[in-house]
Chains A and B, each alone.
Chain A
Amino acid sequence: MNFKLKDIVPQLITVLAVVLVFGFFTYNAQINMENRGIDFGYGFLSQESSFDVQFSLIEYDGSHSYFRAYLVGLLNTILVSVIGIIIATILGVIVGIARLSPNYLINKFAAFYVEFFRNIPLLLQIFFWYFAALRALPLPQDAEAMFGVFFLTIKGLYVPAFIWQNFNIFFYSIIAAIIAIIVIRAHAKKVQENQGKQIPVFLISIGLIFILPLLSFLIGGVRLSFEVPVLKQLATTSFIYEGGVSLPPELIALTLSLSLYTATFIAECVRAGIQGVGKGQKEAAASIGLTPNQVLKLVIMPQALRIIIPPTTNQYLNLTKNSSLAAAIAYPDLVLVFAGTALMQTGKAIEIVSITMFTYLTLSISISILMNWYNKKIAIQEK
C-alpha cells in the first residue's frame, strides 16, 4: 500500500489554509457589505453610466450603460497596446541589430539608448513626455504644419482623415490580393521543390498588392479624399482644429513612452537571440556562397527567432499590462474609466476590480496563447 500519511498531510494543510483564508475573506466581505448596505451583483453593468469619456473609439456618451463604458476603456487599452507593440517591435529590432553592428558609433549609440531608457521608471517617462515635453508644444494657432497636413499642437496631433467611397470594394480587393499571394507562394514552393525552378514571388506579390487595389479605384468606383484639419477660432484666444482625426496628447505620450521603454527590452532579446546562433552557422552559410542579406534572412533569423520569441512575448505582455499606467495621465483606458470613474460612481469595489483583473488576465493569456502557437510553428521539428 503506498498510501502514506506524510504525503497527504502537507497537501491537506495547504488546502485547508487556502480555504480558511478565502473563507475568512468572503465572510468578512459579506458582513462588511451588509453593514454598509451594499449588495453584491453585476446588475449595475446595464445601468446608465452618466459620465463622459473624452476619447473613445466607439460611440459613447453619458446615456450609455456601464458595460459600454467598460468596452470604451477596453478598446482604448487595446489601441494603446497594439500601437505600442508595433512601434516597440520595429524600434527594438533595429536597435537590437544596431547593438551588434561592427560600427563603433552605432553600437555605442544603441547601447546608450538601451541603458538610458530602461533604467528610468516607466511612470516617470510617461510623466516626462506628458507634463514636460508635450506641454512645450505650440498652441493650435501657432502650430506649423508638417508636410502641410499634420499639426502637432499642445492639444494633440491632428492628422487628415481618409474619406472613402465604396470602401468595402477596396477592402475586398486587398483581401483578394493577399489570398492570391499566399496561393502563389505555395505554388512557387512546390515548383521549386519539384522542378528546381524559381518563380520571382516577391515581384509578383508586390505587383498584386498594388495592381488589385488600383483596379478597384479604376473600375470599382472606389474614391478616396482627404479631410485636412482646419484651424477654427472659437473665441478670441481659443482655437481648435476641425475635421481630420485628432489624437489626444495623452495617447501620444503614452504610446511614445511605452514603446521607447519596451523597445529597450526587445532590443536586448533580439541581441541575445542573434548572438545565440552559433558563429559556425554564419560561416557555413557564407561559405556556400550566400550573400550577407541571404545569410541573415535564410540562416540566422529563422534560428534566432526561436530564441527571441519567448522573452519577447513576455515584453508584449508587460507592455499591455503597463498600458494601465495610462490612469496616471488621465488617458481613458480600462483602469481609469472602469476601475476609476465607474467605481467611484457605483462603489462596487469587489465587482469592478475583479472584472478589471479578469480582463487583464484574459488579455495576457490570449497574447501568450497566440505567441505560443507561433513559437510552436517556427520551432525545430524534431523527428
Chain B
Amino acid sequence: MSSINFLKPDRTNLNTFLYLGSFLFFISILDVFLNSFFRLNLTDFLPNFLSFLLPLILGFVGLYFIRIEYSGIKNLDLLNKHINTNNFNAVLSLLIIFIIIKSLPPILSWFVIDASFAGDTKDVCTGSGACWTYIKVWMRRFMYGMYPNAEQWRINLSFVALVLLGSVGYFATDKFKKYLTLYYVVIYPLIAFLFIFFFISGGPVFFDFSYGIIAAILSIIIGFFIPSKFKFYYFLIVPLALYVILKYFLFFEEYIELGKLDGLNWVETGAWGGLSLTFIISFFCLIFCFPIGMAFALGRRSEFPLIRYISVGFIEFWRGVPLITVLFMSAVMFPMFLPEDFFIDKLVRAIIAISLFEAAYVAEVIRGGLQALPRGQYEAAKSLGMGYWKMHIFVILPQALKLVIPGIANTFLALVKDTPLIFVVGLLEIVGMLNLAKTNPKWLGFAMEGYVFAAIIFWIICYAMSKYSYNLEQKYKTDR
C-alpha cells in the first residue's frame, strides 16, 4: 500500500483508513469521556481554545476516514449509513455524542450519587444532589392533598375498586362481550360517581349533582326499552321528572345526618388534592366531555339551521378562549348567575367548566371523523330505513370514532395536562401542592426536586396514554 492519500477513501486502501479513522474517533470519544467522568484533560498542554475543539476535530477527521462506501464490512456500513452519511451529519453526530457524554455525570450525580434518600428532616440533605427525602416526607400531601391521613384508605380503596371494575373488559367471556359497551358507557360511570361522591366525599355536598347524574343514567337505561316512536318525547320529559322525584320525593337527605354518611366523616372538597385529585378531575371531565362533544359535533352537522348555529357558536366560543379564563369565569362570574341560596361546590364547578371547554375540542375532532366518512355510508343506512338516531348509533358513529382515535387521545392528553390549572379556583392538585410545599419554611429550597418528581409522574401518565391510544388505533384499524 502506498502512502496515505487524502482523497476519498475507497476499498483499495480500506484497512489503513479504517484503522487510522477508528483510532482518531476512539481518541476523541475517550478525551471527552475522561474529561467528563474523571475531570482529566489529556490535552492540557495545548492552548485553551484548541484543547476545547480538539475532540471535535479529531473525531471529524476520524469519521471522514472511515466513511468508506460499500466497504463490505457490515457494521461499518451500518455506522456510515446511520450516523456518518456526510460531513455535516458527522459533525452533528459527534456533537450529540459529546453532549450525551458530557451531561451524563452531572445528571447521574444529581439524581442518584449525591442525592440523599434517608432520614425525614431537612438536615440530611447536605450533599449537592437532589433531596429525595423531601419528596418522601411530603409524599402523602402530594398524593392526597389535605385529605386527612386517617381517611386516606377511602381514596385508595375507591381507586383499587374502580381499576378492578374497569378491567372487567379484559376478562369478559364472549357471551358478555356485547354488554361491555353498555357497561362502560352507563354502569361503570354510575359506580364511579357513587364511589367518589359518597365514599370519598362522605358528605352532603354532591347530592344535588349526583341526583342529576343518576336521573340521566337511569333514564338512558330505561330509554333502551322505549319504542323509538316515543323516544324523543321520552327523553324530553323523563330525565327531568326523575330528577324531581329523586330530589323532592325520596328524601334521601333526611336519612343521613348532615356531615355523616354511615359513619364516614365528611371530607369537604377543599381538602382534596394531590395526584388523586388529578385523577378524579381527569376521570370525570373525560366522561362528561365525550357525550357533550359528540352532541355538539352532531349538532354542527345537523340539517336544522338553528341547532347548527347554536352548536357552531358554542364550539367556537370555547375554542377561542383560554381555559384559565373559563376557570376564572366559573370561580367569580358563575356564582352571580345562580340564585342566591343555590350553592355549587367549587370542584363541581371546575369539572363542569373543564368538561365544557374540552367538549368543544372533542366536538371538532369528532366532526372531522364524521366528515371523513363517505356519503355512501349515510345513504346506505337511510336506504335500510334507519332513522337519524339508529343510523348514527349503529352505522356512522362507530366508524367515525374509529377514525378519530388519535385526535380524541390527544384531546384527553391535553385534558390531563390542563388539570393543574384548577389552582385558579383554589384547588390544589399535585402541582399546586408542590407550590404549597416549597413555601413551607421548614423545607425551603427544594423546588427543583418537587417539579422533577411531578414531571416524571405526568410524563409517565401521558406517555402511557399516548402509547395506549396508538395501540387502540392499530387494533381498530380497518383497511378501507
Which A residues have a C-beta under 8 Å from some C-beta of B? 7, 10-11, 13-15, 18, 24-26, 28-29, 31-33, 35, 101-106, 109, 115-116, 118-125, 127-128, 131-133, 135-136, 321-322, 324-325, 327-328, 335, 339, 343, 349-350, 353-354, 356-357, 360-361, 364-365
Could you say which residues of chain B place their CB within 8 Å of the CB of A14? 304, 306-307, 310
Stretch at the interface among B14-22, B49-57, B336-344: B336-344
Is B371 at the interface (CB under 8 A from chain A)? no
Could you say which residues of chain B place their CB within 8 Å of the CB of A122? 417
- Shortest C-beta distance, B95 to chain A (Å), equals 9
Is B418 at the interface (CB under 8 A from chain A)? yes
B328 touches A353 (CB 8 A): yes
Given A103-B85, A109-B96, A360-B322, the answer on whether A325 and B462 have CB atoms closer than 8 Å is: no
Assembled-state Cα–Cα distance A102/B177 (Å) = 45
Which of A7, A356, A365 is B325 in contact with, Cβ under 8 Å? A356
Report B432-463 CB contacts with A as 1/0, cut-off 8 Å.
00110010000000011001101100110011
B93 touches A103 (CB 8 A): yes
* Chain A residue with the shortest CB-CB distance to B311: A14
- Shortest C-beta distance, A101 to chain B (Å), equals 8
* Chain A residue with the shortest CB-CB distance to B92: A106
A11 touches B306 (CB 8 A): yes
Could you say which residues of chain A place their CB within 8 Å of the CB of B338? 25, 28
Given A14-B310, A328-B423, A350-B336, the answer on whether A360 and B455 have CB atoms closer than 8 Å is: no
A120 touches B83 (CB 8 A): no
Stretch at the interface among B181-189, B313-321, B373-381, B393-401: B313-321
* Chain B residue with the shortest CB-CB distance to A328: B423
Is B222 at the interface (CB under 8 A from chain A)? no
Given contacts A24-B337, A31-B340, 15 further A-B contacts (CB under 8 A): A10-B232, A14-B307, A26-B337, A28-B336, A32-B340, A104-B82, A104-B83, A105-B92, A128-B448, A128-B452, A132-B451, A324-B322, A327-B324, A328-B423, A360-B320
B447 touches A132 (CB 8 A): yes
Could you say which residues of chain B place their CB within 8 Å of the CB of A321? 321-323
Which of B420, B448, B466 is A123 in contact with, Cβ under 8 Å? B420
Could you say which residues of chain A place their CB within 8 Å of the CB of B307? 10-11, 14
Given A14-B306, A35-B340, A124-B420, the answer on whether A361 and B83 have CB atoms closer than 8 Å is: no
Which of B320, B329, B335, B419 is A361 in contact with, Cβ under 8 Å? B320
- Shortest C-beta distance, A158 to chain B (Å), equals 24
B431 touches A124 (CB 8 A): yes
Given A28-B339, A105-B92, A105-B97, the answer on whether A353 and B333 have CB atoms closer than 8 Å is: yes
Could you say which residues of chain A place their CB within 8 Å of the CB of B164? none
Is B332 at the interface (CB under 8 A from chain A)? yes
Which of B320, B337, B455 is A120 in contact with, Cβ under 8 Å? B455
Given A121-B431, A343-B332, the answer on whether A103 and B89 have CB atoms closer than 8 Å is: yes
Could you say which residues of chain A place their CB within 8 Å of the CB of B339? 28, 31
Given A350-B333, A360-B320, the answer on whether A123 and B458 have CB atoms closer than 8 Å is: no
B336 touches A103 (CB 8 A): no
Assembled-state Cα–Cα distance A356/B332 (Å) = 13
- Shortest C-beta distance, B303 to chain A (Å), equals 8
A102 touches B82 (CB 8 A): yes
A131 touches B451 (CB 8 A): yes
Assembled-state Cα–Cα distance A24/B334 (Å) = 12
A120 touches B448 (CB 8 A): no
A25 touches B324 (CB 8 A): no
| 18 A–B pairs (Cβ distance < 8 Å), ordered by A | A11-B306, A14-B306, A28-B340, A105-B93, A116-B459, A119-B417, A119-B458, A120-B459, A121-B416, A121-B420, A122-B417, A124-B455, A128-B448, A132-B448, A132-B451, A135-B447, A322-B322, A327-B424
Assembled-state Cα–Cα distance A111/B262 (Å) = 53
B328 touches A10 (CB 8 A): no
Is B163 at the interface (CB under 8 A from chain A)? no
Assembled-state Cα–Cα distance A146/B280 (Å) = 48
Interface of B is mostly: helix
Is B4 at the interface (CB under 8 A from chain A)? no
Could you say which residues of chain A place their CB within 8 Å of the CB of B413? 119
A353 touches B325 (CB 8 A): yes
* Chain B residue with the shortest CB-CB distance to A108: B96
Which of B232, B310, B335, B455 is A128 in contact with, Cβ under 8 Å? B455
Is B73 at the interface (CB under 8 A from chain A)? no
Assembled-state Cα–Cα distance A101/B93 (Å) = 11
Assembled-state Cα–Cα distance A324/B89 (Å) = 40
Could you say which residues of chain A place their CB within 8 Å of the CB of B97? 105
A121 touches B417 (CB 8 A): yes
Given A106-B92, A350-B333, A353-B329, the answer on whether A325 and B324 have CB atoms closer than 8 Å is: yes
Assembled-state Cα–Cα distance A325/B431 (Å) = 14
Most central of B319, B324, B452, B454 by chain A CB within 10 Å: B324
B336 touches A349 (CB 8 A): yes
Assembled-state Cα–Cα distance A257/B302 (Å) = 40
Most central of B305, B306, B317 by chain A CB within 10 Å: B306
* Chain B residue with the shortest CB-CB distance to A120: B455
Is B236 at the interface (CB under 8 A from chain A)? yes
Could you say which residues of chain A place their CB within 8 Å of the CB of B336? 28-29, 32-33, 349-350
Could you say which residues of chain A place their CB within 8 Å of the CB of B463? 115, 119
Given A124-B420, A124-B458, the answer on whether A365 and B322 have CB atoms closer than 8 Å is: no
Which of B320, B435, B459, B466 is A364 in contact with, Cβ under 8 Å? B320
Assembled-state Cα–Cα distance A381/B470 (Å) = 36
* Chain A residue with the shortest CB-CB distance to B78: A104
Could you say which residues of chain B place their CB within 8 Å of the CB of A357? 321, 325, 329
Could you say which residues of chain B place their CB within 8 Å of the CB of A322? 322
